[in-house]
Amino acid sequence: MNKSTPSLWKATFAIVRKDLAAEFRSFELVSAMLVFSLLVIIIFNFALELDIKVREAANAGILWTTFAFAGTLGLNRSMSVEKDRGCMDGLLLAPVDRSAIYFGKALSNLAFMFIVEAIVIPMYSMLYNVNLFRIDLLVVILLGSIGYAAVGTLLAAMSVQTRMREVLLPILLFPVAIPVLLAAVKCSSGLLAGDPFSDILTPFNLLLVYDIIFIAIAFMTFDFVVEE
């Protein structure tokens, strides 16, 4: 038997593959995120039914509120699975760069968010009578989700080690993720209002910069977060 330390990316994709295989067998995480998302958009749909102007103005906000809440649910569950059976120790015992664990979990969380978004976006388009299938809007959703998953995975790894993890994650995550969420909402509302791309360039650039900053910070600090 030959063995060699796996590269960062091999270990990262081993974690993503494992998470996707486990999720496609149980559908616990995605189904919970999906049901929650659909409930949120249906409740908002009823709440804003009579006021079309408010509905149009609130589209971007509702969309990102849905993604953020559902994402938090997924982040919490994804890390709890590792912690509850001691599997986090199993990951930490592997002779790989610990950043691989971060990137693996962040990519899995991102994949779960994308699956939910792929179902929520058409549902939202139907219920709110708005076309969300625009390449520029989808790019904004992609960047916003990357930023949210990047910072969320780091904070979920931190909060999962506490007794109050279900409560602690949103308390930690929402204030820290505000720059990403604000930039994503600004971009989305501008695009849905038909503004030219030059008008949303500032929040779009902010979104890009926050994504890079959050990924870099998480990459540098994950080792300390998971260590006892």
Partner 1 sequence: MIQVKKLVKRFGLKTILRGLDFSVAQGEFVALLGPNGAGKTTFLRILASLSRPSLGEVRIAGHRLPHDAAQVRAKLGVVSHMPLLYPDLTAEENLQFYARMYGIDGMDARITEVLDLVGLERRRKDLVRAFSRGMQQRLAIGRAVIHNPEVMLFDEPYTGLDQDASEMLDEVLRSVAAKGRTVVMTSHDLVRAEELATRFDILSRGVITASAARADLKQTNLLSFYKQSLES
Site for partner 1, rule CB under 8 A? 1-6, 10-11, 14-15, 17-18, 21-23, 25-26, 81, 85-87, 89-97, 227-228
Looking at the Cβ atoms of 49 and 228, the one nearer to partner 1 is 228
Residue 90: C-alpha distances to residues 17, 54, 84, 86 (Å) = 16, 50, 12, 7
Distance in angstroms (rounded) separating the CA atoms of residues 103 and 61? 28
Distance between CA atoms of residues 18 and 81, nearest Å: 12
Please give the biggest Cα pair distance in the chain.
Answer: 68
Give the nearest distance from C-beta 22 to partner 1 in angstroms.
Answer: 4
Task: Quickly list DSSP for 6-20.
Answer: PPHHHHHHHHHHHHH
**Tokens linked to 118:** 């792929």
Give least dist CB 167 to partner 1, A: 23
Q: How far is the CB of 35 from partner 1 (least distance, A)?
A: 19
Supply the minimum distance, in Å, between the C-beta of residue 78 and partner 1.
Answer: 12
Give dist(CA 151, CA 194) in Å, integer: 30
User: Whose Cβ is closer to partner 1: residue 1's or residue 50's?
Assistant: 1
Nearer to partner 1, 21 or 39 (CB): 21
The span from the CA of 207 to the CA of 132, in Å, is 19
Do residues 125 and 30 make contact, with C-beta atoms less than 8 angstroms apart? no
- Which of residues 1 and 126 has its CB atom nearest to partner 1 in the complex? 1
Structure tokens at 8: 């960062």
**Closer residue to partner 1 (CB): 67 or 102:** 102
Report, in Å, the least distance between residue 28 CB and partner 1: 8
